[in-house]
Homo-oligomer: A and B are copies of this chain.
Amino acid sequence: MTFDFLRTIRFQDTDAAGVVYFARLLSICHEAYEASLQASGIDLKTFFSRGAIAVPITHTAADFHRPLLCGDEIIVRLTPTPTGPDSFEIAYQMLNAGGKSAAIATTRHVCIETATRQRHPLTPELTQWLQQWSPTDSSPTAATPPD
């Protein structure tokens, strides 16, 4: 099961070149990540507060294919994948209204203890979130394709 996040491009997303500012596309990917966490029942207030456990981003990358303009309705398709007992990666596909790729991006996240910044196993709620949205979850019994 993939997670699709619908987003309208806003005026403040754009810059003087008339299109979405490059770094803003990564913020929009993060919004999709937040929405997927909420869809799994995770409380964002707690999750993104400075609690005992945090899941900072250690790496990001993006390729920009087509410019996006104010008012554009886009889909951000999010696919998380576990990469270890304490880490995961998210792939994002940004599709414009015509279904063409506007951009692709990835973020890598590592679960840490906030106080020591030492790695910490993924929390049960993150494991559940990964199972819910990861394509590998339903694979053994996937008699029908996920979409």
CB within 8 Å of B: which residues of A? 8, 10-12, 14-19, 21-24, 26-27, 30-31, 34-35, 38, 43-45, 47-50, 54, 56-64, 67, 69-72, 107
Q: Contacts of A21 on B, CB cut-off 8 Å?
A: 11-12, 27
> Is A64 a contact of B69 with CB atoms below 8 Å?
no
- Residue in B27, B61, B70 whose CB lies within 8 Å of A60: B61
- A97–chain B nearest beta-carbon distance, Å: 11
> Is B56 a contact of A67 with CB atoms below 8 Å?
yes
The interface residues of chain A, by DSSP majority, are classed as: mixed
- A90 CA to B30 CA, complexed, in Å: 24
Q: Contacts of A50 on B, CB cut-off 8 Å?
A: 16-18, 50
Residue among A35, A63, A71 facing the most chain B CB atoms (10 A cut-off): A71
Closest to A107 in B: B22
Q: Contacts of A43 on B, CB cut-off 8 Å?
A: 71
- Residue in B16, B30, B54 whose CB lies within 8 Å of A22: B30
- Residue in B11, B31, B47 whose CB lies within 8 Å of A48: B11
